[in-house]
Amino acid sequence: MKTNPLSQRDKEHLWHPLTQHKLSGDMLAIVKAKGALLYDEQGKEYIDGISSWYTAVYGHCNEKITAKVAAQMQELDQVVFSGFTHEPAVALSEALIDILPANQQKLFFSDNGSTATEVGIKMALQYHHNLGNDRKVLLAFEEGFHGDTFGAMSVSGLSVYNGAFEDHFLKVLRLPVPVGDNNAEVLDLLKKLISEENIAGFIYEPLIQGAAGMKLVDPEGLEEILNICKQNGILTIADEVMTGFGKTGKNFASDHLLTKPDIICMSKALTAGLLPMAITSCTMEVYDAFYSEDLAKGLFHGHTYTANPLACTAALAGIGLLKSGEIQDDIRRVMASHSAFKERIKDHPKVRNLRQLGVILAFELNVEMERYGSLRNRLFEHFMKEGVFLRPLGSTIYIAAPYITTNEQLEKIYTSIEAALEKF
């Protein structure tokens, strides 16, 4: 007896993220993934040009990761992390501290990127509460995106995600992103806001704003903002959920800056796309504000699957790959390949604001379109027909493929983009 295709069975009960189901078509059923490739029910392959939302950076079903997780599965699958500890979590903490900025000393586990930033926000607010400081206001960049939980939504600046909930948010002040020619104005506004409000923390995406359309942040302007915040006792929270683990050419985007954050939020590529997990790291100074004989000064935040041993094992294996000469060579190869492609399209009349940071390449298609409009959808469909999975952010086309993507696969991505430039 024939069964209905997955795409038909999907309709019965599933509600997908970022989807208006009355306007959307059938979901494409993916049945297999390997390396940089995804395979659908009909056997068609697609190059995963965005590492499945920036997670599978070492390739899908990487055997160096899956073998270690499979072995761990036979020893310890899950245990409560309140009152217990285990080898995968301890070993991961040692490996992660080794590659994080040197001021990071303590790690707090959660489940995903939104909760990583949620924990960072709570750390900043409770830090000042524990010290007796009257600071209840947060500072964030315009058009930043930090997740979908309430604290994360509060500090996010993209109303398309937040519209129905804005009356319920924390108090957040907005700062324009420094892009070079506006740095002085941004710094003047920052000083004005500091003089008028009791700001507890500043959360930011270091060097590049992902959901805003891969918008670059001027490093010198960001450096000055961080220094002013530190001079005024404002905790700095780097949201490295998208940028972490090699995408900018360094382990973390914060490694490009001299001034290091007080708190770092991590997820996505942390577990190499295999299992959900997040970590929020902090300095010893932050941790010490919670270390007390007063029980109420503890950070009472917890998730059932906190520090899941299987996820920790995947993360530990991922860090091993990140530090390997092979993956570092791949990162440099992809960066060089993107640079060469930039030269090919830099003078095209439909290419605007062409930019690259590490393995991330982005530009705006020089036509008017809505973020989730019909033209954007036709652009997405074009890439899928070409066998390339890219998700344009409105008119922004970007690549963030796995580091192990072959030169031939990269070329297929590039030619599909060149075809789109002629077609749209």
What percentage of the chain has pLDDT greater than the value 90? 90
Residue 178 clears pLDDT 70, i.e. is over it: yes
Examine the pLDDT at 191 and tell me if it is beyond 50.
yes
The length of the chain, given as a count of residues: 424
Record the pTM.
0.96
Q: Which of 137, 147, 133, 107 is nearest to 280 (CA)?
A: 107
User: Can you say whether the dihedral through the CA atoms of 309, 109, 207, 153 is positive or negative?
Assistant: positive
Specify which residues 215 forms β-bridges with.
Answer: 209
pLDDT digits (tens, 9 = 90+) for 337-363: 999 999 999 999 999 999 999 999 999
Q: What is the pLDDT of residues 156-172, one digit of tens each?
A: 987 777 778 888 899 99
Bigger pLDDT: 24 vs 122: 122
Is residue 366 predicted with pLDDT exceeding 60? yes
Question: Structure tokens of 67?
Answer: 């073998």
Q: What angle do CA 20, 40, 314 make, to 5 degrees?
A: 90
Rounded-to-integer distance, Cα 316 and Cα 313, Å: 5
Q: Is 171 within 8 Å of 151 (Cβ atoms)?
A: no
Span 6-61+325-423: which CATH code?
Answer: 3.90.1150.10
Contact between residue 398 and residue 361 where contact means Cβ atoms under 8 Å apart: yes
Q: What is the pLDDT of residue 372?
A: 64
Residue-wise over 304-316: b if at least 16 C-beta within 10 A, else e? ebbbbbbbbbbbb
Tokens of 138: 């947060």
Q: Where are the domains of the chain?
A: 6-61+325-423, 76-322
Give the fold, CATH level 3, of 76-322. Answer: Aspartate Aminotransferase; domain 2 (3.40.640)
pLDDT at res. 1: 41
Does pLDDT of 138 surpass 90?
yes
Mutual angle of helices 183-196 and 219-231, in 10-degree steps: 20
| Residue 162: predicted pLDDT | 76
- pLDDT for residue 331 is more than 50: yes
What is the model's pLDDT at position 415? 98
Output the six-digit token pair for 89. 């979590």
Q: State the chain's mean pLDDT as an integer.
A: 95
- Give the residues across from 209 on adjacent strands: 215
* Predicted pLDDT of residue 42: 94
Query: What is the reported pLDDT for 373?
Result: 67
* Pair of tokens at residue 44: 């068609």
pLDDT tens sequence across 109-123: 999 999 999 999 999
Kindly report, residue by residue over 213-248, the tens digit of the pLDDT.
Answer: 999 999 999 999 999 999 999 999 999 999 999 999
Summarised one tens digit per residue, pLDDT across range 268-282 is: 999 999 999 999 999
Same fold across 6-61+325-423 and 76-322: no
Query: What residue has token string 């190499």?
Result: 272
